[in-house]
Chains A and B, each alone.
Chain A
Amino acid sequence: MTGTPSETIAPRRSHGSGWRLLILIPTLWLVVLFLVPCLIVLKISLSQTAIAQPPYVPVLDPAAGWAGLRAFAAALSFDNYRMLGSDWIYLTSYLRSLAIASLSTTFLLLIGYPIAYGIARMPTRLRPILVMAVFLPFLTAFLIRIYAWINILQRDGLLNDVLLALRIIHEPVVWLSTDTAIVIGIVYSYLPFMVLPLYASLEKMDESLLEAAADLGAPRWRAFWLITVPLSMPGVLAGILLCFIPIVGEFVIPELLGGSGSLMIGQTLWTEFFQNKDWPVASAVAIALLAILLVPILIYQHLQMRTLEKS
């Protein structure tokens, strides 16, 4: 009856040598395949473009010794980042990517939540089948599915045919090469990544909580709003991040479905790298993008830590 603190304290693991070895493998993996490449890209972003092999200077020459290292460090500069900040091409590209990612993620949430909720409320034996059904289209190659969308969205494509037949429109609408097409393509492609974390959090919710809410006088819609929605927030956050972050850097979908007028940041990066052969600027674009995306990731981490501390 008196205030004893929580009984549920997780048992502590002993940190033996086996444990260290186990953690070494993923650490090595991350260092070799993530941290080192990141540092290389960071270094290139501080270099200047050159007609050479590799196409930038300075290049560190270990044979030149201490003096060579000093000359190398002196030649690095933030010029590329200054350029990113001053040229409207890059700024609009970033903003456009963020805008399209926000819009797409909003639609993903609005479409994904009812799907996940519906599956979670189905009889237990049907749920795995329905989750599989969400993933089923993804057994086909990604490019083929995007090309199929080109077919659907083009002037004499399926979408216009249907809308004309239903007399919703009287003239064929231009879908392809518009932002609408990009958003449709993104929402279609990323849907499973929104549905799955939402489903995971909705599925484990205790049915008796909704009964308790009803018992205490809350009609269904209020119980949904007061109980289901708050309890599914971890899934909502995970879904948003899982979609938003890769969408910002999306290249293939805007390239194939979008217009040539304005570019998303992934396309800008591609242009710098392969058309202008400007590795340093392309690297700066990538590093800046990473910095932008780090913000939501850090917020998410912070929230996760808070929920972990609570339980």
Chain B
Amino acid sequence: MGNAPAASGSDPASVPLVRFEAVGKRFGGFVAVDRLSLDIFEREFFALLGPSGCGKTTLLRMLAGFERPSEGRILLDGQDVSDVPPHRRPVNMMFQSYALFPHLTVAANIAFGLRQEALPRSEIEARVRDMLALVKLDGFDARKPDQLSGGQRQRVALARALAKRPRVLLLDEPLSALDRKLREDTRLELKELQQKLGLTFVIVTHDQEEAMTLANRIGVMNGGRLAQVATPPDIYERPNSRWVAGFIGDVNLIEGTAVSSGLGQTIVESRAGDRVLVTHPPGASYSGPVTVAVRPEKIQIDTAAGISKTENSFAGHVIQVEYLGGLLAYRIMLDNGQEMKVTLANHAPLRAGSMAASGDRVWLSFAPEAATVLQQ
């Protein structure tokens, strides 16, 4: 996949607000973005997610106008903006470093963009006041950036980028400089703000939790390409490749061969000789070598055989239990030689004996609809 975005999360009839058409960017011999196509729609909160060096920031910077595509076109509202300099684009960016002007007050920072439009003074003042209220920084207008805390600076950067009412707001790792608690609060506020203003946000992040909670749609990037574009649940439940399955959350991968496929279910014979039944949308069909992906929290552990349904049931023994507070993380060695990760919610207080301990013999099982077949 990686070429056409999934229609889910957006109205298929609407015209995309932003369209990348086979956009590529090379720095010398290094390919940062590799002929990538992507549509982003009005009022979407779109996340570009990927490891560092995957090209997500370069893609954002091309949309802002700081980098020119080496090939392809970028359309904004149907207009080719590939050659439009950044100061003439109706998009604004919130920088990872915030890039606040240190010699200007908070009010002057927010007013900077408005002053470039030569708006009347009273209008600028009113909008700066609105923005300060929006990010809950009333009364901070006369402060300089170095008189603010990290969280306050982040708000000023956000207000400054929003002041011009951009068609698209670009956010480059906007929460990465904040500590954990503040990051979680700010994440919620950012989501609320986007819904309240009805604007289109494009965020770049390497934090999957951030992408999952904020975005309507996520574009997972790897090596300058889009590995998958889908809603957060689809990305998690139905990853389209081993790479995406492994990048987003934890996963068990069972390699094997599809022996029969069709009518919404596939039987995979694993290398160890076990049969695994997986259900999927009826249109899909698999053949040849495939991988079955199962999330650790979708596997059930029983301490006696035959309790669960017979399909997708495997015997093994516990090799390690990690106590994570809210969760218990098991590592289990199956009799067929495959190691599996299983997480269980910690329903303490547990009845004595019901919790499998290291060395115990256990039976794992998962429902056919809990697994995914990956062709790669």
Interface residues of A (CB under 8 A from B): 1, 3-8, 206, 208-209, 211-219, 222, 226-227, 230-231, 310-311
B2 at the interface (CB under 8 A from A): no
- B contact residues around A311 at 8 Å (CB): 146
The interface of chain B, by Cβ under 8 A from chain A, is 64-66, 85-88, 91-93, 95, 97, 99-103, 112-113, 116-117, 136, 139-140, 144, 146-152, 160-161, 164
Known A3-B139, A6-B146, A206-B97; judge A217-B113 contact (CB<8 A).
Answer: yes
Closest to A210 in B: B99
**CB–CB A218/B146 < 8 A:** no
CB closest residue in chain B, given A227? B101
Pick from B92, B100, B103, B136: contact of A230, CB under 8 Å: B103
Task: State which of B64, B102, B117, B139 has its C-beta within 8 Å of the C-beta of A215.
Answer: B64
- Cβ of A230: which chain B residues have Cβ within 8 Å of it? 103
For residue B147, which residues in chain A have a CB less than 8 angstroms away from its CB?
Answer: 5-6
Inter-subunit contact A214/B146 (CB<8 Å): no
Q: Which of B87, B102, B144, B149 is close to A218, meaning CB atoms less than 8 Å apart?
A: B87
Q: Which 7 A-B pairs have the closest CB atoms?
A: A216-B113, A217-B116, A212-B99, A208-B99, A214-B86, A214-B87, A230-B103
* Other contacts beyond A209-B101, A215-B66, A219-B85: 14, CB < 8 A: A5-B147, A211-B64, A211-B95, A212-B93, A212-B160, A214-B66, A214-B85, A215-B87, A216-B92, A216-B113, A216-B116, A216-B164, A227-B101, A310-B146
- A215 CB contacts on chain B under 8 angstroms: 64-66, 86-87, 91-93, 161
Instruction: Give, as a whole number of angstroms, the nearest-CB distance from B325 to chain A.
Output: 29
Q: Is the CB of A3 within 8 A of B146?
A: no
Knowing A211-B86, A214-B85, A217-B116 touch, does A3 contact B101 (C-beta < 8 A)? no
- A143 and B148 CA atoms in complex are apart in Å by 53
Shortest B189–chain A CB gap in Å is 9
Q: How far is the CB of B183 from chain A (nearest CB, A)?
A: 14
Question: B117 to A217, Cβ gap below 8 A?
Answer: yes
User: Considering only CB atoms, which chain A residue lies closest to B61 in the complex?
Assistant: A211
Q: How far is the CB of B240 from chain A (nearest CB, A)?
A: 34
Residue pair A1, B136 in contact (C-beta under 8 Å): yes
Least CB separation from A207: chain B residue: B99
Query: Is A231 touching B102 in the complex (CB atoms < 8 A)?
Result: yes
Q: For A223, give the chain B residue with the smallest CB separation.
A: B87
Name A1's contact: one of B65, B85, B151 (CB within 8 Å). B151
With A215-B93, A222-B116 given, is the CB distance from A7 to B150 under 8 Å? yes
- Nearest CB in chain A to that of B103: its residue: A230
- Are B148 and A6 within 8 A (Cβ)? yes
Q: Which residues of A contact B101 (CB under 8 A)?
A: 209, 212-213, 227
A3 x B87 contact (CB < 8 A): no
Tell me which residues across on chain A come within 8 A of B100, comparing CB atoms.
212
Q: Which residues of the other chain, A, contact B64 by a CB distance below 8 angstroms?
A: 211, 215
B residues near A212, Cβ cutoff 8 Å: 93, 95, 99-101, 160
16 A–B pairs (Cβ distance < 8 Å), ordered by A:
A1-B152, A6-B148, A7-B149, A7-B150, A206-B99, A208-B97, A211-B64, A212-B95, A212-B160, A215-B92, A216-B113, A216-B160, A217-B87, A217-B113, A217-B117, A310-B146
Contacts of B65 in A (CB 8 A): 214-215
Choose from A3, A208, A231 the contact partner of B103 (Cβ within 8 Å).
A231
Alpha-carbon distance between A177 and B112 when the two chains are bound, in angstroms: 51
B105 to chain A, nearest CB (A): 12
> Closest A-chain residue to B144, C-beta based?
A310
B117 / chain A contacts, CB cutoff of 8 Å:
217
The answer to whether B116 touches A218, judged by C-beta atoms less than 8 angstroms apart, is yes
In the complex, the chain A residue whose C-beta lies closest to that of B92 is A215
Inter-chain contact B103/A217, CB cutoff 8 Å: no
Cβ contacts under 8 Å, B103 to chain A: 230-231
CB pair A4–B149 under 8 Å, yes or no, is yes
Minimal Cβ-Cβ distance residue in A for B189: A1
Would you call A211 and B99 a contact (CB within 8 A)? yes
Question: CA separation between A103 and B160, bound complex, in Å?
Answer: 41
Are A219 and B99 in touch, CB under 8 angstroms? no
Set of chain A residues within 8 Å of B91, measured between Cβ atoms? 215
The CA-CA distance from A18 to B104 in the complex, in Å, is 41
Inter-chain CA distance A1–B149, complex, in Å, is: 9
CA of A78 to CA of B88, assembled, Å: 67
- Residue with the highest number of chain B CB atoms closer than 10 Å, among A6, A209, A216, A218: A216
A22 CB to closest chain B CB, in angstroms? 29
Which residue of chain B has the shortest Cβ distance to A209 in the bound complex? B99
A residues within 8 A CB of B99?
206, 208-209, 211-212
Nearest neighbor of A219 in chain B, beta-carbon distance: B87
Could you tell me the distance between the alpha carbons of A5 and B91 in the complex, rounded to whole angstroms?
A: 32
Chain B residues with CB under 8 A of A206: 97, 99
Find chain B residues with CB under 8 A from A4 CB. Answer: 149
Contacts of B140 in A (CB 8 A): 3
- Once the chains bind, are B112 and A213 in contact (CB under 8 Å)? yes
A218 to B92, CA, bound (A): 12
**Cα-based distance from A23 to B222 in the complex (angstroms):** 57
A107 to chain B, nearest CB (A): 27
Interchain CA distance A51-B197 in the complex, whole Å: 90
Identify the closest chain A residue to B185 (Cβ).
A1
A269 to chain B, nearest CB (A): 41
When C-beta atoms are compared, the residue in chain B nearest to A311 turns out to be: B146
Contact residues in A for B112 (Cβ distance below 8 Å): 213, 216, 218, 226
A8 to B148, CA, bound (A): 9
Contacts of B87 in A (CB 8 A): 214-219
> A215 vs B66: C-alpha distance in the bound complex, in angstroms?
9
